[in-house]
Amino acid sequence: MNHSKKVLDKIISKTKIYLAIIALLMVVICIYNPYFIIPSVVIFILIVMYAYWTNNKRQEELTEHIKNLTFSLDKVAKIALVNSPFPLVIAETNGNLIFRNTKFNQEFANIDINNYLTNIVNDVKLQIKNNNKKEKIYDEIKIDKKTYKLYGDYMPLKDEYIIIIYFVDDTKLVELEDLFDNKDMYIGLVMIDNYEEIIQRLEDSEKTQLMAEIEKKLYDWASDYKGIILKSERDTFVCIFEKQYIKEIEDKKFDILDIIKDIQPSDRMQFTLSIAISNDGATNLEKYKTAQAALDIVLGRGGDQAVIHEGDKYKFFGGRTQELEKRTKVKARIVSHALEGLILESSKVIIMGHSNSDMDCVGSSMGIYRLAKTLEKDAYIVLNPRGDNLSAFLNELNQNEEYNGIVIDSNTALGILDDDTLLVVVDTNKKNYVESPELLSSAKKIMVVDHHRRSPDYIENATLTFHEVYASSASELVTELVEYAQKEVNLTSLEAEALYSGIMMDTKTFTFKTGVRTFEAAAYLRKCGVDIIKVKKWFQSDLDTYNKISNIIGRAELVYDTIAISIYDEEDKDSNVVCAKAADELLTISNITASFVIGRLNDKVCISGRSIGDINVQVILEKLGGGGHITLAGAQVEGMTIEEAKQELINRINEYFSEQN
């Protein structure tokens, strides 16, 4: 039985079907005529034996053919492996080297290749471990002075894997790519910040001499980096550099900024530059346009600095001097008239400031509100109060029936927003720092009024922008807009006091960042009926807050001998206000030139920075995602503890001083 089963097993499936059909036919014949039983059995056995014999013969012929083919292919494969034009290695993942072809031995004859092979094998082992699904080997490695692309595969072998890798010399292609990359053009703009202000004061002979000296310094600077610089306007130049020299310009931190400052006219005023260089764009025209946009950011940050724009990244250099106050009010008058036109064309006006609003934010909002009401338009202020920092003002606002319903939350504002609504953003230019980012992204018509240095994530799609970094506060700018409006605007005493308090808060009672126009704006508000005693009461701290500030000051530590850092590690809804007041108070201590106070703000860490002007706290806190001015800045950090934020702040302070050296 077993023998019969083996015989049948060796017969191919197709033949078995034919045998089954023959057997069936013979059974039918035998049923009708029993005399055919014995002949049928004999004939069927003979047929099976013949099928078995022919099947065996066929298999023997096929096996011999496969052997011959396998031998030929194996011989060809071995020749291909040994004589491959590419270096080739076969190894096991346990480090055992199985085979290296002739080209491999020639290519790496003078190089200790073992360490490289060990690293490659370890990388493949890690790849095998991290991937459930088998993947090809594709990598790049630098050996000696050459670059190789690695192509290969791996397969299981008992407890290990066997790896086969080809080394393809890619050095010339990489060198060509580097050459092409280094020849990539960076296009920039150089502007003399205070050209008009200084030139107006000079004699004609001195103008020519100074401009010739500035131009020579700029041409020499560009020549040092094999660049081109061309004068496009009286105070503006276009420059072109190759990428390979940009790193050197960065390393020298745009030394041209300091070189130009050394050129001083007779009245001792300094020339300063604003520089923007960009590689963002597929064509040179696009790079030029992105350089123009980057220059706007530099000017919005106060000038006297440079920026390199690559992709979506901005690298800033300089910017350590105080902003210069402009002497003309023409821009304020033009913007005021343009704003009136925008309001008249709009169905309503919604005013929004930054998150965690302060008195400057609220004061400037009240000024815009009165301008809109004067032009007979409905106006609303988006405010989501947190803590008690605005409680004194809001209590008084709520007691006045005239202002019933003007303060709304973000959801209400989104509900009444339409395509004809004008959204006025005050006291910030950062997209993610506004009270309601959703409202900003939904608005069709936007105006921005701000005095902070412009950040890379500024609001780009504004219809109208009044951005002056020299101003003390947004309230100062709004006061000028109100003052120069074509239609006379009559501020109520509460609105004037709100604007006055905004100026007072950002200048620390007219101590920091005050210019001539700051006092002119304050004088105008004083005429409108400001009660200075009432404003002062809004800023008074209760005994509990004063004790908190005293404790913060008592825990302050000094770095670089003159910089105070302290922590307010309490759960407090007003922690940002307490930190700001403590930072202000620390500056009243002798020999302290800058102060930083770190506190908790919900799930974030807030940092308030203050300076008397010797140290630029804005540059330091900008590295932590914040912003502000040289003497007053802030930042909010996510994903860190207070201690981690403190260490990160110290690291940024160290960077600040290392960049100055």
Instruction: State the Rg of the chain over Cα.
Output: 40
- Rounded to an integer, the average pLDDT of 391-400 is 85
Task: Determine which of 149-158, 399-408, 578-587 has the lowest per-residue pLDDT on average.
Answer: 149-158
Strand duo 407-408 + 378-382: pairing: parallel
Instruction: Give the pLDDT band of residue 80 (cuts 50, 70, 90).
Output: low
Q: Answer left, alpha or beta for residue 257, where phi above 0 means left and psi between -120 and 50 means alpha.
A: alpha
Residue 103: its H or E element = helix 102-107
Q: For residue 511, is pLDDT > 60? A: yes
Residue 370: its H or E element = helix 359-374
Q: For residue 535, is pLDDT > 80? A: yes
C-alpha span between 440 and 450 (Å, rounded): 15
H, E, C per residue of 437-460:
HHHHHHCCEEEEEECCCCCCCECC
Q: For residue 463, is pLDDT > 90? A: no
Extended strands (E) in 602-631 = 604-611, 627-628
Output the pLDDT for position 401.
Answer: 87
C-alpha span between 64 and 175 (Å, rounded): 53
Architecture of the 88-175 domain: 2-Layer Sandwich (3.30)
Output the pLDDT for position 7.
Answer: 47
Q: For residue 593, is pLDDT > 80? A: yes
Nearest to 562 by CA among 514, 627, 490, 611: 611
Q: For residue 24, is pLDDT > 90? A: no
- Rounded to an integer, the average pLDDT of 77-103 is 74
Output the pLDDT for position 52.
Answer: 76
Question: pTM for the whole thing?
Answer: 0.59
Output the pLDDT for position 525.
Answer: 92
Output the pLDDT for position 107.
Answer: 83
Mean of all residue pLDDT scores within the chain: 82
Output the pLDDT for position 371.
Answer: 95
Strand duo 160-169 + 146-157: pairing: antiparallel
C-alpha span between 44 and 40 (Å, rounded): 6
| CATH number for region 544-660 | 3.10.310.30
- Report domain extents, the chain: 2-80, 88-175, 195-318, 330-538, 544-660
DSSP string of 281-341, one letter each residue: SSSHHHHHHHHHHHHHHHHHTTSSEEEEEETTEEEEEE--SPPPPP---HHHHHHHHHHHH
C-alpha span between 40 and 27 (Å, rounded): 8
Provide the β-strand partners of residue 138.
151
Q: For residue 320, is pLDDT > 70? A: no
Number of neighbouring beta carbons within 10 Å of residue 117: 17
Task: Determine which of 317-331, 346-360, 390-404, 542-556 has the lowest per-residue pLDDT on average.
Answer: 317-331
Instruction: Give the pLDDT band of residue 378 (cuts 50, 70, 90).
Output: very high
pLDDT digits (tens, 9 = 90+) for 257-278: 888 888 876 555 678 889 999 9
pLDDT digits (tens, 9 = 90+) for 542-553: 788 888 889 999
pLDDT digits (tens, 9 = 90+) for 155-194: 776 667 788 888 888 888 887 777 776 678 899 999 988 7
Share of the chain above pLDDT 90, in %: 24
Architecture of the 330-538 domain: Alpha-Beta Complex (3.90)
Query: Helix 474-483 to helix 493-506 angle, to the nearest 10 degrees?
Result: 140
Q: Say which amino acid occupies 537.
A: K
Q: For residue 354, is pLDDT > 70? A: yes
C-alpha span between 107 and 86 (Å, rounded): 9
CB of 298 within 8 A of CB of 276? yes
Instruction: Give the pLDDT band of residue 27 (cuts 50, 70, 90).
Output: confident
Q: For residue 343, is pLDDT > 90? A: yes
Alpha helices in 108-192 (DSSP H): 114-130, 171-182
Q: Which two tokens stand for residue 560?
A: 């670089």
C-alpha span between 102 and 83 (Å, rounded): 6
CB of 247 within 8 A of CB of 253? no
CB-based burial label for 301 (10 Å; 0-12, 13-18, 19+)? buried
- Rounded to an integer, the average pLDDT of 197-210 is 78
CB-based burial label for 589 (10 Å; 0-12, 13-18, 19+)? exposed
- Rounded to an integer, the average pLDDT of 627-638 is 82
CB of 627 within 8 A of CB of 453? yes
Task: Determine which of 126-140, 192-206, 600-614 has the lowest per-residue pLDDT on average.
Answer: 126-140
Torsion of CA 116, 117, 119, 124, to 10 degrees: 140
Instruction: Give the pLDDT band of residue 327 (cuts 50, 70, 90).
Output: very low
Q: For residue 5, is pLDDT > 50? A: no
- Rounded to an integer, the average pLDDT of 116-142 is 75
- Rounded to an integer, the average pLDDT of 314-343 is 74
Alpha helices in 484-515 (DSSP H): 493-506
Per-range mean pLDDT, top range of 137-141, 228-232, 327-331, 610-614 = 228-232
DSSP, collapsed to helix, strand or coil, labels residue 643 as: helix
Output the pLDDT for position 60.
Answer: 66
